[in-house]
Amino acid sequence: MATIGLLVVLPLIAAAALFFIKKDSLRTPVVIGFAALIMLACVWLAIGHLTGTMEFYPLKSQLITYATLVIDVILGVYVFVKGIKHGVPFASVLAGIQTAIVVVFELTVAHGVNIDNDIYVDSLSVMMAMIIGFVGSGICIYALGYMRVFQEQHKDQPDRRHIFFSIFFLFLSAMFALVFSNNLAWLFCAWEVTTVCSFVLIGYTRTEEAIQNSFRQIVMNMLCGLAFAIALVYLGAAGILELDKLINLGAIGLAAFPIALLAFAGLTKAAQIPFQSWLLGAMVAPTPTSALLHSSTMVKAGVFLLAKLSPAFGWNFNGMMVMLIGGLTFLICAFIAISQSNAKRVLAYSTVSNLGLICACAGVGTPEAMWAAIFLLIFHAVAKSLLFLCVGTAEHHIGSRDIEAMDNLFVRMPTIARFMALGMLTMFIAPFGMLVSKWATIVSIADTGNIVLMLILAFGSAATFMFWAKWLGKVLAVAQHSADLEKGVSKSEWFAIGLMAFMVLFCSVAFPFISESVVVPYLAQFEQFVFPGLLPAWQTISATLGFDNLLIMAIIVLAILASFAVFFGRSKKRIVPIYMAGVGVDSEKRSYRNSLSGVSESSQRNWYLEDWFGEKALLPISNIMGIVVLVVGIALAYINLGGGALL
């Protein structure tokens, strides 16, 4: 209990301190110190609670409730003012409505609702805390080195790094609060803090594009906040303001409509179709911001909420809505990622796509699907942060974030290229984590007999292979003579990248044990999953995926790593130039002497198949489909509320 408080307060203190520290020499030890403290606190929490059952704490603190109200109002006013200032009145209107609803609600309805437990801790929230603590703080450390270079490259802009780091830690604090709140009003407050934090971070560079994109983000996420607020009002009227009680109600009868609204909020935050554009727009921000938004915060808050609500989904309208939106997003965004040559946009589309898969799993709502969702979430967090950090560092040293410019990175930045390859392998190929999780997804979907999701999964996985494999190929290409550009990468960047790589490997190898000792027991405690006549959750999971198969995967990972360590690059063969239709001149430029004794240069770009998988071809239709599914889904949930008297 005290550890949870510590996890929320520690980053808060760091945020406050960093806001006033403008000297780089002082900032470095403070950031590193607090990051280390947060990681320690996470480990401490994990030791106590990782394998334990769900525990609740009745805090019953009026003080915190009022504090959340004050924070809500401050956030509302902040967005309102910003909206007026930058000429986006729609954002102001949304902020105004939302704040008004929350204030009225808190002062009237919520006051009368009895709340048994404000705070809880279970294995899922501990795992989330580990992700936030390790990945999030790791990115903070990375940002030290990255932002120094960034500032040097943007000398014309005032040094606003103190705000940057302050917001980073505030973000972490809000995320910790989010994963431990059982009181929905508190959860809402943390939810809104993360929205506004990413708003500030996306607009950090203050270029026109950045500001425009930050407002796109805030408008979409204020919409989701509004949905959340309306859900609060409905639930408050029914006297339920606790997450666990809500989940136990299930998604039928009274709870159908508020759960649909919360699902909508989660989907928006997780940047699902038709709201994916805010996360794509967020790519204008400095890379640590992208890494943070994609791996451990913001979008993960969205899928976390959906994963929590997962037992209430399944074969009901809400479950269908989440399943369809997630599936559609997984498929379409994997297609679009093929057509992108900007590395950060590929990463963004891949994130959205993977989050879609997690949402679809949450929507399916069976124990196997939840198992898959949790592992997809874990592996996505560690692998994606590794990839973002590598791309960010590479960008600073090769001067481009284009995939074509990463050709031959293997020789120019050997260590970065190897880590990048590790990240990519983890993202899309067995026996590494993401794909094993996808395996579980396949199993769970095969079990439910949902043909639509089966097709989506099959075609989406094929597309995923395409866009990763061609990028991986470019990065691993070897020119015989190239300059080493890796010198000058800062220690903080190396540390963070190393930390992420370690976590990727650790999770891949410890996978079966994490499953057996943490995730399966977590799933086994849900009563919804034990149907009369059927096996309880943990047995069905073991039966379909099997501990032995997971173990085989882990062993193959180890075998592959060992062979890389022993044999990779040890070939004793005589090295000869490649065939170029003429004598080679420069291996890096791939130039050769042509038949007229001149020098020709050959160039070879990857395929991006724009006509087939471009944004223009796919986005309009899929956005319309997404909107239709959401509108129909929420409408059905509403009708269910009006006519249904199941409670």
Partner 1 sequence: MTAISFILALVGFGLVAPIIGCLLAGLDRKITARLQGRVGPPLLQPYYDVRKLLAKENVSVNRFQDFYIAMSLFLAILAGVMFFAGGNFLLVVFLITLSTLFLIVAAYSSRSPFAEIGAEREIIQVMSYEPLVILMTIAYFLAVRTFDVGAVFGLSQPIIVSLPLVFIAFLFVLTIKLRKSPFDLSYSHHAHQELVKGITTEMSGKTLAMVEVTHWYENVLFMSWVGLFFVWGSWIGILVAVIVALTIYFLEILIDSNFARVKWQAMLKWSWLVTLVFCTINIVVLIMVS
Q: Which of 604, 642, 643, 645 binds partner 1 (CB under 8 A)?
A: 604
Alpha carbons 12 and 167: distance in angstroms, whole number: 10
Binding residue count for partner 1, defined by CB under 8 A: 66
Q: Which is nearer to partner 1, 228 or 471 (CB)?
A: 471
CB of residue 431 vs partner 1: minimum separation in angstroms?
Answer: 7
CB of residue 443 vs partner 1: minimum separation in angstroms?
Answer: 7
Q: Which of 463, 519, 537, 636 binds partner 1 (CB under 8 A)?
A: 463
Q: Which is nearer to partner 1, 212 or 482 (CB)?
A: 482
Tokens 């690059």 belong to 569
Q: Which is nearer to partner 1, 389 or 436 (CB)?
A: 436
Q: Which of 462, 621, 631, 647 binds partner 1 (CB under 8 A)?
A: 462
Alpha carbons 396 and 305: distance in angstroms, whole number: 35
CB of residue 478 vs partner 1: minimum separation in angstroms?
Answer: 4
Alpha carbons 482 and 621: distance in angstroms, whole number: 45
Q: Which of 484, 568, 583, 645 binds partner 1 (CB under 8 A)?
A: 568
CB of residue 335 vs partner 1: minimum separation in angstroms?
Answer: 10
Q: Which of 43, 551, 556, 632 binds partner 1 (CB under 8 A)?
A: 556
Residue from 116, 108, 453 nearest 314 by CA = 453
Alpha carbons 449 and 199: distance in angstroms, whole number: 41
Q: Quickly count: other Cβ atoms within 10 Å of residue 208's Cβ.
A: 8
Q: Exposed/middle/buried for 602, CB within 10 Å: 0-12, 13-18, 19+?
A: exposed
Asked if 409 and 417 count as a contact pair (C-beta separation under 8 A), the reply is yes
β-strand 119-121 against 591-593: which pairing, if any? Answer: unpaired
Q: Which of 573, 583, 642, 645 binds partner 1 (CB under 8 A)?
A: 573
Q: Per CB under 8 A, does 560 bind partner 1? A: yes
Q: Which is nearer to partner 1, 546 or 620 (CB)?
A: 546
Q: Which is nearer to partner 1, 552 or 646 (CB)?
A: 552
Query: In a 3-state reduction of DSSP, which class is residue 570?
Result: coil
CB of residue 501 vs partner 1: minimum separation in angstroms?
Answer: 19
Q: Which of 19, 44, 465, 495 binds partner 1 (CB under 8 A)?
A: 465
Tokens 């392998």 belong to 425
CB of residue 127 vs partner 1: minimum separation in angstroms?
Answer: 25
Q: Which of 578, 621, 631, 647 binds partner 1 (CB under 8 A)?
A: 578
CB of residue 546 vs partner 1: minimum separation in angstroms?
Answer: 7
Q: Which of 25, 62, 114, 571 binds partner 1 (CB under 8 A)?
A: 571
Q: Which of 58, 89, 399, 577 binds partner 1 (CB under 8 A)?
A: 577
Stretch 374-413: interaction string toward partner 1, x if CB under 8 A: ---------------------------------xx-x---
Tell me which residues in 409-438 interact with partner 1 (CB under 8 A).
410, 429-431, 435
CB of residue 469 vs partner 1: minimum separation in angstroms?
Answer: 5
**What does the block give as tokens for 614?**
């471009």
Q: Which of 23, 155, 487, 570 binds partner 1 (CB under 8 A)?
A: 570
Q: Which is nearer to partner 1, 290 or 544 (CB)?
A: 544
Q: Which is nearer to partner 1, 342 or 591 (CB)?
A: 591
Angle (CA) 418 421 427, round 5°: 150
Q: Which of 50, 129, 443, 505 binds partner 1 (CB under 8 A)?
A: 443
Q: Quickly count: other Cβ atoms within 10 Å of residue 16's Cβ.
A: 12
Q: Which of 370, 372, 457, 497 binds partner 1 (CB under 8 A)?
A: 457
Tell me which residues in 581-600 interact with partner 1 (CB under 8 A).
587, 590
Q: Which of 169, 215, 313, 439 binds partner 1 (CB under 8 A)?
A: 439
Alpha carbons 446 and 441: distance in angstroms, whole number: 8
Angle (CA) 476 482 483, round 5°: 115
CB of residue 622 vs partner 1: minimum separation in angstroms?
Answer: 17
Alpha carbons 594 and 602: distance in angstroms, whole number: 11
398-412 burial, b at 16+ Cβ within 10 Å, e below that, comes to beebbbebbbbbbbb
Q: Which is nearer to partner 1, 246 or 420 (CB)?
A: 420
Q: Exposed/middle/buried for 109, CB within 10 Å: 0-12, 13-18, 19+?
A: middle
Stretch 606-625: interaction string toward partner 1, x if CB under 8 A: xx----x-------------
Q: Exposed/middle/buried for 562, CB within 10 Å: 0-12, 13-18, 19+?
A: exposed
Half-sphere exposure of 177 (CA within 13 A, CB side): 26
Q: Which is nearer to partner 1, 209 or 548 (CB)?
A: 548
DSSP string, 295-317: HTSTHHHHHHHHHHHGGG-SSSH
Q: Which is nearer to partner 1, 267 or 383 (CB)?
A: 383
Q: Which is nearer to partner 1, 530 or 560 (CB)?
A: 560
CB of residue 404 vs partner 1: minimum separation in angstroms?
Answer: 12
348's enclosing H/E stretch is helix 343-364
Q: Which of 20, 481, 484, 567 binds partner 1 (CB under 8 A)?
A: 567
DSSP string, 619-631: HHHHHHHHHHHHH
Q: Which of 211, 312, 553, 554 binds partner 1 (CB under 8 A)?
A: 553
269-307 burial, b at 16+ Cβ within 10 Å, e below that, comes to bbbbbbbbbbbbbbbbbbbbbbbbbbbbbbbbbbbbbbb
Asked if 303 and 362 count as a contact pair (C-beta separation under 8 A), the reply is yes
Tell me which residues in 9-48 interact with partner 1 (CB under 8 A).
none
Q: Quickly count: other Cβ atoms within 10 Å of residue 155's Cβ.
A: 7
Instruction: Report helix angle 451-476 to 433-448, nearest 10.
Output: 170
Tell me which residues in 122-161 interact with partner 1 (CB under 8 A).
none
Q: Which is nearer to partner 1, 20 or 568 (CB)?
A: 568
Binding site for partner 1 (CB under 8 A): 407-408, 410, 429-431, 435, 439, 442-443, 445-446, 449, 451, 454-455, 457-459, 461-463, 465-466, 469-470, 472-474, 476-480, 544, 546, 548-549, 552-553, 556, 560, 563-564, 567-580, 587, 590, 602-604, 606-607, 612
